[in-house]
Chains A and B, each alone.
Chain A
Amino acid sequence: MRIQQEFRTDPELWQALKKGDNQAVALLMKKYYRDLLNYGRKISKDEALAEDCIQELFVELWQKRDKLSDVQAVKPYLFKSLRRRLVKAHPSHPLTDIDSLPEYETEVSFSYEEFLIHEQSTLERKTKLIQALNSLTPRQREVIYLKFYEDLSYEQIAEVMSLTVPTLYDLLSKAVKRLKAFFSGVTILLLICMKLIQ
């Protein structure tokens, strides 16, 4: 029985939750806690607060299970709720604030030798990507994050961030333009450096 439950789809889990199956809460948490925490700590610099908000979110889902509507896309629903909670917890720092989305940190998880031999180009590209991402506005960064890290569709992102799809698209195309400019900028810079030295 347990094993079968693992294979339930999101809408099925949602229905189970509404019917009072408390196993559904744990399963949804298993599935989305990681993503929610990663998103939460990008929005709020206070990681413990992000964790509080997520747990509170699930407790409340359970408490209000009788009144929940039929949700098909559970992940964006959870993201949106978390976002609202974090904004509420920080009324003085709405998400439109310039420094509300913290900078991306570098991830280094391989050994020195590996780094030298075959991960070299990946790390270089990642370092460059992080620099590029940090040159975006927080809202642009949030859109990129939800699209490429969380794999949400444009409609879902618009829902999570309470934007219209055209506004979102505009935001994204500006972000991508900037990223592209950053990358070609770096290449040009490199070419100039090489020219100077040769």
Chain B
Amino acid sequence: MPSRDISAEELVLNESFQHWVRRTSETDIAYWDKWLGEHPEHSATVTEAAQLVELLYSAAKPEVTDERIDRAIARVNARISQESKPATPAPRKSLPLRSTWSWQKLAAVWIGLLLVSIAAYWGVNQYFYAYVTYATAADETRQLQLPDGSTLVLNARSSVRFAREWPAGASREVWIDGEGFFDVKHFTNPSRKFIVHANQVAVEVLGTTFNVWQRKNQTRVVLQTGKVQISARALTDTVLMSPGELVEIAGDTPQAVRRPVDTRLYTAWKEGQLFFDGTPMQDVAALIEMQYGYSVRFGDDAIRQEKFTYKPVDNNLEELLQVLQETFRVRVDQRSKTLRIDNN
């Protein structure tokens, strides 16, 4: 595709682009990855188009049960075996194939439809009237005020959702997808819990500042001040965090990983400035994963503990990789968005 102005519609309609979004063709994946790298100015349009394509493909089809298919096959087989001599078309409707619907089935269908409509109505209602959603683009952070006066800085490519009003005495709940830094107002009333939901992880707060990061099924919480308690469906126990700690919950792993970190490192994105100051490589890796969406592998586990000091001029990955390359051997796989770091 030439480098003129392109519209999201054009991309949505492009079959090769559709293959790229769904990762179904190696050639198209390579083509569009390369194209995107060469045309970063189109990334907003591409994101919009990709979301629409994904959404269109995601809609569920109504289910047809296997029994129903087997019944149909049996009926057709019965017809076929009756025809000893082929090529003489049977008169239409000679044998009624119409399945008979009992009143129970009809009633079940009507009840189903009714429930579906109620759920849809409820969903739309909730969506339009009770909750607000904020989302950020790829290069945007946003400061938000929550209904109780707490604040939230939302990092790029993230969204957050909460009730428009938080009644006094009720718990305060926020759903986040992506990354955000919370500064939570403290109330003495214990029923005024503040809970952040990230994927299947819940962070319960008692007046505090902390960072929540969630992508796919990984969640990382970094606590700056105060106290938070984390529970997750996968975890056997809840985790009570102390300031200066990082807790990581990965998918269904029943044990959370916790370790002390320099919290400034994990909240530097708020000021739009990353820095590394004797930072262990494993934290550098976590930061690259969180900030740029690459997963990082180490060729040798010993590298994890090596210290890295650098203050980037620009906050881009290329610059960081160049500097890392002075010490390590860094290989980048654009397709799987993976970095591999080995000793030189």
CA gap between A183 and B53 in the complex, in Å: 13
Q: Of B61, B79, B115, B161, which is within 8 A of A38 by CB?
A: B61
Chief secondary structure at chain B's binding surface: helix
Question: With the chains together, A147 CA to B69 CA distance in Å?
Answer: 24
Q: Is the CB of B69 within 8 A of A33?
A: yes
B119 at the A/B interface (Cβ < 8 Å)?
Answer: yes
Q: Residue on B with the closest CB to A117?
A: B197
Q: Which of A128-146 contact B (CB under 8 A)?
A: 129-130, 144
Beta-carbon contacts under 8 Å, B56-78 to A:
56-62, 64, 69, 72-73, 75-77
B332 interface hit (Cβ, 8 Å): no
When distances are taken between beta carbons in the complex, the residues of chain A under 8 Å from B97 are 51-52, 55-56
Q: Does B187 contact A (CB under 8 A)?
A: no
Contact call B90/A63, Cβ cutoff below 8 A: yes
**Is the pair A126, B86 in contact by a Cβ cutoff of 8 Å?**
no
- Once A106-B116, A120-B161, A121-B159 are accepted as A-B contacts, the answer to whether A148 and B64 lie under 8 Å apart by CB is no
User: Which chain A positions have C-beta within 8 A of B285?
Assistant: none
Give every chain A residue within 8 A of B237 (Cβ-Cβ): none
Contacts of A38 in B (CB 8 A): 61-62, 64
Surface stretch bound by B, among A1-9, A23-31, A71-79, A91-99:
A23-31
Residue ID in chain B nearest A39 by CB atoms = B61
Set of chain A residues within 8 Å of B98, measured between Cβ atoms: 48-49, 51-52
User: A65: CB under 8 A from chain B?
Assistant: yes
B179: chain A residues at CB < 8 Å are none
Contact call B76/A25, Cβ cutoff below 8 A: yes
Please indicate the chain A residues that have their CB under 8 angstroms from the CB of B101 in the complex: 48
Q: Is there contact, CB below 8 Å, between A108 and B119? A: yes
Residues from chain A with Cβ under 8 Å of B223 in the complex: none
Q: Are A118 and B9 in contact, CB atoms less than 8 angstroms apart?
A: no
Q: How far is the CB of B74 from chain A (nearest CB, A)?
A: 9
The interface bits of chain A over 143-165 (1 if a CB of B lies within 8 angstroms of the residue's CB, else 0) are 01001110001100000000000
Q: A29-B72, A124-B127, A180-B52 are in contact. Are A63 and B83 (CB under 8 A)?
A: yes
Report B's interface with A, CB cutoff 8 A. Answer: 8-9, 12-13, 15, 48, 52-53, 55-62, 64, 69, 72-73, 75-77, 79-81, 83, 86-90, 92, 97-99, 101, 113, 115-117, 119-120, 123-124, 127-128, 132-133, 159, 161, 164, 175, 177, 197, 199-200
The 10 closest A-B CB pairs, nearest first, are: A148-B56, A106-B120, A34-B64, A108-B119, A33-B69, A59-B79, A107-B60, A48-B98, A52-B97, A176-B9
Task: Sample 9 A-B pairs with CB under 8 A, ordered by A number.
Answer: A22-B81, A29-B73, A48-B101, A59-B76, A63-B87, A118-B200, A122-B58, A125-B55, A148-B53
Residues of A within 8 A of B (CB): 22, 25-26, 29-30, 33-34, 37-38, 48-49, 51-52, 54-56, 58-60, 62-67, 104-109, 115, 117-118, 120-127, 129-130, 144, 147-149, 153-154, 169, 172-173, 176-177, 179-180, 183, 190, 193-194, 197
